[in-house]
Amino acid sequence: MIKVGVIGATGYTGEEIVKILIRHKDVDLAVLQAVIEKEVPISDILPELKGKTNLVCKKPDLEEAKKKAELFFLALPHTVSMKIAPALLEAGKKVIDLSADYRLEAGEYEKWYKTKHIDTANIEKAVYGLPELFREKVKKAHFIANPGCYPTGAMLAIAPLLEKNLIQTDNIICDAKSGITGAGRKPGWNLENPDIKGNFKAYKVNSHQHSPEIDRILSEIHGKGIKVTFVPHLLPLERGILSTVYMKAKSGLEYEKVAGVFREKYKNCPFVRIKPEGEFPQLKEVACTNFFDLGLAVDKSKKLIIAVSAIDNLLKGAAGQAVQNMNIMCAFEETEGLTN
């Protein structure tokens, strides 16, 4: 049993982490904190938890948190995590940060997030927690930078081909569509909002803050700089990210060869499901799960590979992946808490 704390327990991803940890057999959920006026049962804030837990959510108090838990999830906005993580790390706690604060090198972070990084010393200590690509590093990690939701959906659809040097790297295009919970819980941001209801649009075209994260990690895998064209869209749905990635093969490839590369890479990955030829993922099939679903098409005459992926942004794109990382770090069953 490990004692765990969730800081930012009342946000979208914090709520998902709490729901998972309540049913996790190896976790004693010992600390819940968020910006609230006074301490209250978490089920008063998150009614879905009524009858499932008597846990109380308290105001942020790091001294109290440090006394009560060994591992912390930071489900906090970027810029807030980097104020909290250093003290927890200093006290020898394991930390899994869901924000973007430790995913980029400091200069890139300051450029894209337009704010000064105040904990640059810990950036290089953070292991990028995408288990399907970096499982061995996650096993040994004390501090995890949990990946962004769009990068998870995009990179798992690209990395295996990149590792095998099968694709051209100057024209990878990722066209991604996300439900509205990707933006966090905020007033008026719901399916009745006139900007969202009955609408579908691209935003931050070629200028989304997840672009440098995708480029950084894929460049590390490739060993040379890569820039992916990344275009996000906003879907009038609660949750889910569907990404369509277009890649040019270096030489004409058959479907079987391409599918074989993904099957081999992910053969021991319990949350990856590869569709049979001719079938493609749907958001309904991954909603409220930690799965990454993938469908592939190959146009040999154009040397074109199309990979379509689907994830739930709040689970495989955030909270589920964070718990998956904890399970691997702590040598628990990788799927514990994540399958029902």
Ligand X SMILES: NC(=O)c1ccc[n+]([C@@H]2O[C@H](COP(=O)([O-])OP(=O)(O)OC[C@H]3O[C@@H](n4cnc5c(N)ncnc54)[C@H](OP(=O)(O)O)[C@@H]3O)[C@@H](O)[C@H]2O)c1
Backbone angles phi, psi at 300, to 5 degrees: -65, -40
Tokens of 30: 């010992």
Q: Nearest 5°: phi and psi at 247?
A: -135, 140
CB 158 within 8 A of CB 219: no
With CB under 6 A as the contact rule, the residue among 43, 53, 122, 181 that binds ligand X is 181
Q: How many residues bind ligand X (CB under 6 A)?
A: 30
Please identify, using beta-carbon distances, which residue of 73 and 332 lies nearer to ligand X: 73
CA atoms within 13 A on the CB side of 205: 2
Is 269 annotated in the active site?
Answer: no
Q: Compute the least distance from the CB of residue 89 to ligand X, in Å.
A: 17
175 with 315: CB under 8 angstroms? Answer: no
Closer by beta carbon to ligand X, 13 or else 169: 13
> 58: which DSSP letter?
B
Cβ distance 334 to 138 under 8 Å?
Answer: no
x-or-dash string of contact with ligand X, 139-158, rule CB under 6 A: ---------xx---------
Of 101 and 215, which has the nearer Cβ to ligand X?
A: 101
The residue within the footprint of ligand X, chosen from 28, 35, 189, 207 (CB under 6 A), is: 35
> Among residues 213 and 262, whose Cβ is nearest to ligand X?
213
In the block, which residue shows the tokens 């501090």? 143
- Asked if 185 touches ligand X (CB under 6 A), the answer is yes
CA distance 127 to 102: 9
Stretch binding ligand X (CB under 6 A), from 69-77, 156-164, 224-232, 269-277: 69-77
With contacts defined by CB under 6 A, name the span among 104-112, 161-169, 176-184, 300-308 that binds ligand X. Answer: 176-184
**What is the phi/psi pair of residue 184, to 5°?**
85, 170
Examine residue 76 and tell whether it contacts ligand X (CB under 6 A). yes
Q: Does 10 bind ligand X (CB under 6 A)?
A: yes
Distance CA 84, CA 96 (A): 12
294's tokens: 């993938």
Residue 325 lies near ligand X (rule: CB under 6 A): no
Residues recognised as catalytic = 149
Q: Which residues form the interface with ligand X (CB under 6 A)?
A: 7-8, 10-14, 33-36, 60, 75-78, 80, 98-100, 148-149, 181-182, 184-185, 313-314, 317-318
